[in-house]
Amino acid sequence: MVNLSQFRKDEFLQYEYALATGCTVSKLLKKSSGLHGNTGFNSFLNSTFSTVSPIDWLEQDEILDASVNNLKAAAKFLTDLEDWLELSSFEVLSGLTRKHNSSTLKSIFKATNNDRWESVTRGQIEGLLKEFFWWCSEIDTLDVFNQEIESAKTLLSIIDQPLFKQLKTLGQVVEVSSANWQQDEDVFNNIMSQIYSSNKLFVQEWLSSDRLYEHYNVKTKRAYTSLYSWLILSLIAQVRNYKNNLWATKRQWKSLGYKIKNDASPAAVFHYFKVNNKNEFEEIEESNASFGRKVSLVYNADEVLGFEGKSYKETKVKSVPILEQRIKELGVDVRQVINEAFYNCAEDYINMPPIEAFKAKDSTKDYYATLLHEMVHWTGHKSRCNRGLETALSPKQQAIEELVAEIGSAFLCARFGITKKVRTQSISYIENWLDGLGWCDYIGYLEQAAMLANRASNYIYVPKRDDI
């Protein structure tokens, strides 16, 4: 594990960790200056959690909080490498595959002499290149700059434009460059309203379907993990009967050589981010931050002429032992009292039938999918996410809680690589309660349940970014 002494001496680590945390190198060095060099970098991050300005590794739902200056500094640094090798940073990263960590860039790429780069080894540079590639892929997926990022030099030329020079975060870039969303938003709202008008049971049918899979950008093969993106793409895929789980913007499909059908219908992907006026060293209370959103219109592969690619599945499927480990870490009390699955809030335990009772095909996965549903209920206890389960629930509250458990277990099944089968009893609760609601209430309660489900799912398990 890297300690602060190593971080302070290693230029490559500084650029890599600045990107990974969303803080500039200077801020990381200043915040850690009072700690001993033997302190692990993760321990340093943990020490900031109790402050008003905590620092942590950024996840996908936080990337628009990242510093533009970090990206600019890394892009400028790597542009020099690209100029020397006459390759993009992504080509350099690919060229390091299967090379020894001690091999130098000069020997790997048969390059000319260069005082700054020739003695740099794969082990030194690869982490930074992977981090930079991750960021460029995410920026491209979110269509932040409305332009494809092909290299560090490309990114640097974009960030150096007068429009972006004074901006501090990617969220601010989005606010400046998303002026056309108002028109697109009207189109999207019309789509969702029409779906509701034509079929008021679409939520129940969606939950009952076998399409609760993840959705991926066709170009980057990265999942749309933002809560609203997953929710809306899943609903639209169900209603429109899409067979594919690949999506991309018009620009991305065009860059891949494909044309969208004339009557193609779009979907929206959402990404929320903090909006505040803090400068690089100013401490700010969380309550002082408002939220903005980045929205892009994407098209499913079924709406593209001539595309024959198959749905994408994550190659790193999470194994069931990871779930078992999380159950132990969380201290979940799972009992086998009777042959039913339920959560007892008064005594704070989950009852599950014995695993041997699940005898159908994929019975083990069915068992864990059922357990995850009950674990989402378990998070509602006052000592955890506190959804008020200790008191008697009204029909509305009971329906919302079942919707939370179904959506939350869908999130978790995707994270653990488990095939989900919906609970029939849950669907009946949801159907009885949703029936008769108007469009605004319908979507409003769905969003409320989805947010609660996301919070519950994150309490149980958040995959590390390297698992993606």
Kindly report, residue by residue over 338-396, the tens digit of the pLDDT.
Answer: 888 899 999 999 999 877 666 555 566 778 888 999 999 999 999 999 999 988 888 77
- pTM for the full predicted model: 0.54
Q: Rounding to the nearest 10 degrees, give the CA dihedral for residues 135, 138, 142, 147.
A: 60
Amino acid identity at 302: D
Residues 6+ apart with CB under 8 A from 315: none
Residue 182 burial (10 A CB sphere; 0-12, 13-18, 19+):
exposed
Other C-beta atoms closer than 10 Å to the C-beta of 456 total: 25
Instruction: Give the model's pLDDT for residue 279.
Output: 39
Quickly tell me which residue has 């990404």 as its tokens. Answer: 271
> What are phi and psi for residue 273, nearest 5 degrees?
-150, 160
- Cβ distance 459 to 376 under 8 Å? no
Q: Are 126 and 120 in contact (CB under 8 A)?
A: no
- pLDDT of the residue at 29: 94
Spatial separation of the C-alpha atoms in residues 327 and 320, rounded to whole Å = 11
Residues of the chain with pLDDT under 70: 60-61, 142, 146, 163, 174-213, 225-228, 271-294, 310-319, 356-364, 419-440, 442, 463-468
In degrees to the nearest 10, what's the CA dihedral of 279, 281, 283, 289? 30
Closest CA to 425 of 341, 335, 315: 341
Q: Six-digit token pair at 430?
A: 């949801």
pLDDT of residue 176: 57
d(CA 165, CA 98): 39
Output the pLDDT for position 280: 36
The whole-number pLDDT of residue 208 equals 57
DSSP assigned state of 319:
P
DSSP 3-state of 349 = strand
Instruction: Specify the amino acid at residue 179.
Output: A
**So what's the pLDDT on residue 315?**
41
Residue 110 has what pLDDT? 93
User: Which residues, including other chains, have CB under 8 Å from residue 448's CB and lie 6 or more apart?
Assistant: 400
Going 453 to 456 to 461 to 465, the CA torsion angle's sign is positive
Tokens of 270: 């959402």
Please, where are the H alpha helices in 50-114? Answer: 68-85, 89-95, 105-109
Produce one character per residue of 111-138: b if its CB has 16 or more CB atoms within 10 Å, e if not: beebeebeebbbebbbbbbebbbbbbbb
Decide: helix, strand or coil at residue 304: strand
Tokens 């620092």, residue located: 55
First-to-last C-alpha distance (Å) of the chain: 21
User: For 62, left (φ over 0), alpha (ψ -120 to 50), or beta?
Assistant: alpha
Which stretches of 86-180 are DSSP H helices? 89-95, 105-109, 122-142, 152-159, 162-165, 170-177
